[in-house]
Structure 1
Amino acid sequence: MAKATAQATGAPRRNPSGNPQMAALMRTRTFRTKLSAFLREENVGLILSQARGTDGTVFTTNGASYADTAKAVAPELETSGEDYLRIVRLLKAGQKVEMEADIKTRFITNDLQGYNVVAEIAGTDKKLKDQVVMIGGHFDSWQGATGATDNAAGSAVMMEAMRILKAINFKPKRTIRIALWSSEEQGLFGSRNYVLNHFGDPKTMQLKTEQEKLSAYYNLDNGTGKIRGVFMQGNDAVAPIFKAWLEPFKDLGATTVTIRNTGSTDHVSFDAVGIPGFQFIQDPMDYFARTHHSNQDTYDRLVEDDLKQAATIVASFVYNTSQREQMMPRKELPKATAALN
């Protein structure tokens, strides 16, 4: 393992501040754990809850832990807001409501391992072929539907970008690698463990030699919308590079380069060990309003022309990254997460 040392190139890493959304999520999880224990002790037969969403859209949630060591919880059903509120109105009116539930759950424990899909186009430059440019997105999905926008769309775009490069018989200087991640929805397990196995441990910041050879990682995981730009993830040294690379795509609507960070997907696994990791900005479409983790996340929600636009831009970014004389500029190495706790 290589010793973790600060890297002078690029912008200094900003001191991380508290994330109110994450804090609220952790409070909710803590409360839910206590509530589940109480309901189990009370021997509750069934919990009926109102799902978020309207007009037939049901945003699904997960009230139980996925860990194989987790304690059992009371059975729970989520219903659409329309059905749930009708039951509430009947009860308030003094009407007796009867409900029959048939819940069958099967736990698959014969193989608890997650599997990533990895492929690459080998580099051809004698000096640079051992360096790598990576793209990726997660291919697991939530249980409400078929996961078309989250994240079959991102996986398809990244595969299409690789197909484009193969179709033009591109011979990159650096190796280009695609990874489709498993278990993102459970906590970025696929990408985090890949990073741990190949690049380093964010808890200790003990880095492996491969960490020095990965120029950048590009991720797509925000639905079917067009690419409108890219988050720099606090790395202002890449601003002029990305602006130049987006210039040919102004007529396709991709112009934005922002210093902002974005999280909750697989590029943060790379950023955590000092590797330039980026997520593209996309048109929101109805991603958060309708399809994200809902029963509406189906194939008919995909917009083919927007996915083609995204694949073209990703292929261009990968092309340019692989051909640069230098690797992409880096921020200072983050502090070991164990030291922050």
Structure 2
Amino acid sequence: MNTFRLLALAGGLAAAAPALAQQGTKADPAMLAKIKDEGMNRSKVMETAFYLTDVCGPRLANSEGLTRANQWTQKQLTSWGLTKATIEPWGTFGRGWDIEKSYVAMTAPYYHTLIGAPKAWTPSTNGPLKKQVIVVKATTEAELEKYKGQLRDKIVLLDVANPPKTSFEPDAKRYTAEELQKMADFKPEPPAAKPDDAEMEKRMAQRRTMMALRTKMSDMILSEGAAAILSTRGGSDGTFFTSNGAPYAADAKPVLPELEMAPEDQLRLIRLVDAGIPVELELETRTKFQSQDLKGYNVVAEIPGTDKKLKSEVVMLGGHLDSWHAATGATDNAAGCAVMMEAVRILKASGVQPRRTIRIALWGEEEQGLFGSRNYVKNHFADPATMKLLPDHEKLAAYFNLDNGAGKIRGIYAQGNEAAAPIFREWLQPFADLGATTVTLRNTGGTDHLSFDAVGLPGFQFIQDPLDYGTRTHHTNMDTYERLPADDLKQASVLVASFVYQAAMRDAKLPRKPLPAAKPEQRM
């Protein structure tokens, strides 16, 4: 960008300065212009995303791929000038697991390769298998009993609960102006009445029954001497959703080799068997467990604060680095990590001298229950089970998270924090031309900002265009680099960098909601 254009941009941003000053900020409009210029014209976000996905590979919790990503991000953040780049243990997680080989095909009544991958934490087949298949369809224990004595040395096909249907809706979409306005107009309502004890017990009983049937089915298939299992959690057009087929605990009991399949392939096999046509499959999986180091890790690094009074306070930004294993975890969540890394790179390249310390965190083991961020919060700030606050609880100014795919930022969820909402509206004003204008009091769930909110800290997730996150990429074999729109990630990086900068320069920390009550852990 030439000097004239940079000055013009700075002038436009300066128009927002009076409003920013009313919110108690020391943000410099010229610095906001530099942030925008660096992020839009000299971006490294796609290069970072390439290394996180194609080079590091799948990043399942405690796997070799996640270890590669931890080591690479630590080195990369250091190379950009951040300090204290550390691979920090958060506590005990469990076994690591990696795929070394995976192959499955139908060999009778004719040959055809099939789409599938081993379920996480399942064992190897101990060499190639070539076996007849049997379909198991059971929704009750009585139905399950019918298969006793029929499963030995067979490959078991489980039924498909949700067959794919023809859809006339596009896979990918962006938020419309009407949808964003609805978010902006959202008013918190009184909490809905909790189900009475009888209704709650009914739901819990249904869940216990379902889980008991699953456990009994797995135990019976194993004890009957089946060779392997094929299953599916759904999907369409060659896309399948993936998960774990066994616990990651070091003392987990044995299970059979199991592959998750594209539902179209699974359904074809089932139709053939149901028609009385013998079906034979050939498959081999080779998986590797890692039990030497059971700890989980986060990667953290800092841009030190410069204000004598405020440098002990911290503005945090982050996203989870781990992924599932059937693809390379591009939209979930290499995109968020690449954006957060690019945001701190932009700040360093722009010469920001933040009043508060800026700390990036790339979380581990999010997919198994927000473990990385929850334990970081517990270790550094407070335990939500007791709400006993640690000294650093008072020093966190804000936490910003990105983990809703690869779409550009359209605004931010204020998490019901009414005092923060007008501040965010002012911060978005200089970047309205980038399509980010919406502040909603709504909360979005399921990711790492919740770990901070759970102990009364101001944690926020940005609103992102959904694209094809929910239909095609989230936890699937299609979550690859090709699903990352460069312009969207550039825009997101600029917005995150600007929010972090402005939070680091304010006179005061962001407002907080009242402290929540302690919530002791509950077990079923």
Q: Normalised by the size of structure 2, how large is the TM-score?
A: 0.59
Contact 2:412 2:463 in 1 (8 A): yes
Cα shift at 1:301: 1.1
Which residue number corresponds to residue 212 of structure 1? 394
1:68-83 pair list within 5 angstroms: 68-83=250-265
Kindly state the Cα deviation for residue 105 of structure 1 after the two structures are TM-superposed.
2.6
Task: Give distance in 1, aligned partners of 2:248 and 2:262.
Answer: 24
The structure number with the bigger radius of gyration is: 2
Greater share of strand: 2
Say whether the 8 Å CA contact 2:236–2:262 is kept in structure 1: yes
Residues in 2 aligned to 1:263 and 1:128: alpha-carbon distance in whole angstroms: 31
Structure-to-structure mapping, 1:228-243, within 5 angstroms: 228-243=410-425
Whether the aligned pair in 2 keeps the contact of 1:13 and 1:332 (CA below 8 Å) is: no
Residue 116 (1) aligns with residue 298 (2): yes
Instruction: Report if the CA contact (8 A) 1:132-1:176 is conserved.
Output: yes
Indicate if the aligned counterparts of 2:384 and 2:455 stay in contact, CA closer than 8 A: yes
Change beyond 3 A, Cα 1:319–1:104: same
Contact 2:232 2:241 survives alignment (8 Å): no
Change (3 A) 1:212 1:34: farther
Following superposition, the deviation at residue 104 of structure 1 comes to 2.4
Cα distance in 1, alignment partners of residues 190 and 244 from structure 2: 33
Greater alpha carbon shift after TM alignment, 85-94 vs 276-285: 85-94
Please state if 1:296 is matched with 2:296: no
Alignment partner of 1:55 out of 237, 247, 252: 237
> Structure 1 residues 173 and 252, CA, compared in 2 at 3 Å: closer, same or farther?
same
How far does residue 101 in structure 1 lie from its aligned partner after superposition?
2.4
Change in Cα spacing, 1:280 to 1:29, as seen in structure 2 (3 Å) is farther
Identical amino acids, percent of aligned pairs: 63
The aligned runs of 1:122-137 (5 Å cut-off) are: 122-137=304-319
Structure 1 position 39, deviation (Å):
3.2
Paired residue for 1:145, among 327, 336, 352? 327
Report whether the alignment pairs 1:186 with 2:186: no
Contact 1:132 1:177 in 2 (8 A): yes
Q: Secondary structure at the match of 1:66?
A: coil
* Residue equivalent to 2:222: 40
Instruction: Say if 2:352 is the partner of 1:170.
Output: yes
Could you tell me the TM-score, scaled by structure 1's length?
A: 0.90
Q: 1:43/1:228 Cα in 2 relative to 1: closer, same or farther (>3 Å)? A: same
Judging changes above 3 Å, is the alpha-carbon distance between structure 1 residues 232 and 33 closer, same or farther for their aligned structure 2 residues? farther
Distance 1:321 1:83, change over 3 A: same
Distance in 1 (alpha carbons) for counterparts of 2:505 and 2:258: 53
- AA at the equivalent of 1:195: V
- Secondary structure at the residue paired with 2:397? strand
Post-superposition offset of 1:43: 3.6
SS of residue in 1 equivalent to 2:287 = coil
Q: Distance in 2 between matches of 1:194 and 1:25?
A: 34
The residue number in structure 2 matching 1:326 is: 508
Shift of 1:287: 0.8
Unaligned runs of 5+ in 2: 1-187
Shift of 1:84: 1.0
* Counterpart secondary structure, 2:419: helix
In structure 1, the residue matched to 2:277 is 95
Partner of 1:335: 517
State the SS of the aligned residue for 1:337: coil
Structure 2: how far apart are the matches of 1:339 and 1:293? 27
Shift of the alpha carbon at 1:165? 0.8
Distance 1:132 1:24 in 2: 45
- Contact 2:232-2:240 at 8 Å conserved across structures: no
Is 1:160 aligned to 2:342, yes or no? yes
| Change beyond 3 A, Cα 1:333–1:291 | same
2:428 to 246, 256, 277: 246
